[in-house]
Amino acid sequence: MSPVRVRISRDKVRSDFVRLVNEISGQNVLNCYQCGRCSAGCPLTFAMDILPSQVIRLVQLGLEEEALGTNTPWVCASCMTCFARCPRGVDLAKVMEALRAIKLRPGDADRIRLNQFPREALARLPQQGLVSGLRKFTG
């Protein structure tokens, strides 16, 4: 990824965005001290634009557009490995869910649609996968 110039300000750090992420996730993102253990153990970093620990850093700084603009929350599989290893007890899987929720909740932002699924694939996919996928990718 090419370097990105970001502007940090007190207003952004204290913005509603940070409050909203904390509220939906039940976490205090400021508890993260950027050790990187979550990213070291995350099994999906190979497919992510930026690392999980970088996402939470963007959130700490109130950089809403930047945090919501990466594919990282959508690639996160909620496997909770990061939470199992975080020395600060931050549940990053919940932070990722909050970022997805912020995108999906306003409505009309579904990332997948059931009527696009090919029939043959649906015939084999377990309900558990279908229901989970729809819950994660639609509002």
Residue 24 binding partner per list ligand SF4, another protein, none, with a CB distance cut-off of 5 to 8 Å that depends on partner kind: another protein
Instruction: Return the closest-CA partner of residue 65 out of 108, 137, 17.
Output: 17
Q: Would you call 111 exposed, middle or buried from its count of C-beta atoms within 10 A (0-12, 13-18, 19+)?
A: middle
Residue 40 binding partner per list another protein, ligand SF4, none, with a CB distance cut-off of 5 to 8 Å that depends on partner kind: none
State the number of binding residues for ligand SF4 (CB under 6 A): 28
Angle at 8 (CA atoms; ends 32, 104), nearest 5 degrees:
65
Q: Is 51 in the site for ligand SF4 (CB under 6 A)?
A: no
Q: Across the chain, which distance is largest between two alpha carbons, in Å?
A: 53
* Tokens of residue 102, six digits: 């912020």
Q: Is 52 in the site for another protein (CB under 8 A)?
A: no
Helix %, strand %, coil % of the chain (to 5): 60, 0, 40
Q: Is 124 in the site for ligand SF4 (CB under 6 A)?
A: no
Pick from 36, 43, 69, 139: which binds another protein (CB under 8 A)?
Answer: 43
Residue 117 binding partner per list ligand SF4, another protein, none, with a CB distance cut-off of 5 to 8 Å that depends on partner kind: another protein
Q: Is 58 in the site for ligand SF4 (CB under 6 A)?
A: no
Question: Cβ(41)–Cβ(82) under 8 Å?
Answer: yes
Binding site for another protein (CB under 8 A): 23-26, 43-44, 46-49, 71, 74-75, 77-81, 83-85, 91, 93-94, 96-98, 101, 111-113, 116-118, 121-122, 124-137
